[in-house]
Amino acid sequence: MLLAKDQLAALLEQLSKGSARLYVPARVDATTRFALFEPGIKTAFHLVNTTLPPKDLLFPQTQKMYRYGFDEQGIPYIDPVHDDDEVIAFGLRPCDMASIDCMDAVFLTKGYEDEFYAPRRKRLLTVVIGCTAPAQTCFCDSMAGDASTAPTADIQLNETADGSAYAVLANTPKGEAALTDWSGFLSDAKAPELLHAECSLKVSMEGIKQKLDTMYEHPLWERIAKKCVTCGACTYVCPTCHCFDISQENRMKEGERFRSWDSCMFSSYTLMAGDHNPRADKMPRVRQRFLHKLCFFEDRYGRSLCVGCGRCVEKCPVALDITELIDEIGAL
């Protein structure tokens, strides 16, 4: 099936009028992110990646968990807060979908299901558009990914070689059901040649995990930590970072508990009662970030936590480049 590009705006308009909230890549307040589709929105499908990743659709930057207090009879109550809306994420990139797969592993596997993440994930429809021209900072195909395809996405779109349309493929039953709402915008014409992309930035992950297993006390960490300013920008633009803090706000006899994104790069993240902090210094925090991405996550989930989107490479103010670190480790 084909979706002509000149039909895309009309399709999005129709989807936005349905029961699901529709999110698309857009420019909002001087940055780019996945934003709610509404009249006047400046869509940005031309971008390789949005600056802010789509993870907040599943793991909001600030998320209410439950309300608590006393009712009129003085009986205490706790009411969980859940978002029940269906959501469509339209225009994800393959690396974005790979990041959702990583988040699924964290919040839905190993005998644990996060009660706030799980319902959002079940109600999310993912529509991926394959890349045709990866950015110079992209390296997803070095991290077991593919710039053109995302097999776990509900619906996959790939641009045709003549640039006039997208080939449409449903990968899941949810995707197949969703395409019934697209029927008026799709043609049964045979898809011509499709565009496929390859990243120009390459790294080799061969043997990296095994080397890192023995490098916990390596002097490399002290050297690269000197460059880092621990601003946390890398963790906020990263689509797979999932550190959070839990706080509450009390108002007389009632209150709310919520969780917010945190960062392993901040000294307060590991601060414990009694003022003990196992990672008070900068070097252990820098080491933890890279070992978690490239080593520890693979120990637990069998894959790297880096999906090669390149956001941290682009946004780090001191150019602490994870691809250069991988190359350096590989050369040791």
Residue spans per domain, the chain? 2-331
Measure the CA angle with vertex 34, ends 29 and 40; round to 5°: 60
User: What pLDDT is attached to residue 179?
Assistant: 96
- Closest C-alpha to 267, from 252, 282, 255: 282
Q: How many CB atoms lie within 10 A of CB 62?
A: 11
Residue 253: pLDDT over 90: no
Tokens of 142: 């070095």
What distance in Å separates the CA atoms of residue 136 and residue 197, rounded to the nearest whole number? 12
Q: What percentage of the chain has pLDDT greater than the value 90?
A: 91
User: What pLDDT is attached to residue 193?
Assistant: 84
Give the chain's mean pLDDT: 95
| DSSP tag of 268 | G
User: What pLDDT is attached to residue 308?
Assistant: 98
User: What pLDDT is attached to residue 194?
Assistant: 87
Q: What is the pLDDT of residues 148-175, one digit of tens each?
A: 999 999 999 999 998 999 999 999 999 9
Q: What is the mean pLDDT of residues 276-286?
A: 96
Confidence band (pLDDT; 50, 70, 90) for 190?
confident
Q: What is the pLDDT of residues 54-76, one digit of tens each?
A: 999 999 999 999 999 999 899 99
Residue 191: pLDDT over 80: no
What distance in Å separates the CA atoms of residue 153 and residue 166, rounded to the nearest whole number? 15
Contacts of residue 312, defined as CB under 8 A and 6 or more positions apart, other chains included, come to 233, 234, 237, 238, 322
Confidence band (pLDDT; 50, 70, 90) for 195?
confident
User: What pLDDT is attached to residue 144?
Assistant: 95
Confidence band (pLDDT; 50, 70, 90) for 91?
very high
Q: What is the pLDDT of residues 5-29, one digit of tens each?
A: 999 999 999 999 999 999 999 999 8
Q: How many CB atoms lie within 10 A of CB 286?
A: 22
Q: What is the mean pLDDT of residues 254-270?
A: 96
User: What's the first-to-final CA gap in the chain, in angstroms?
Assistant: 49
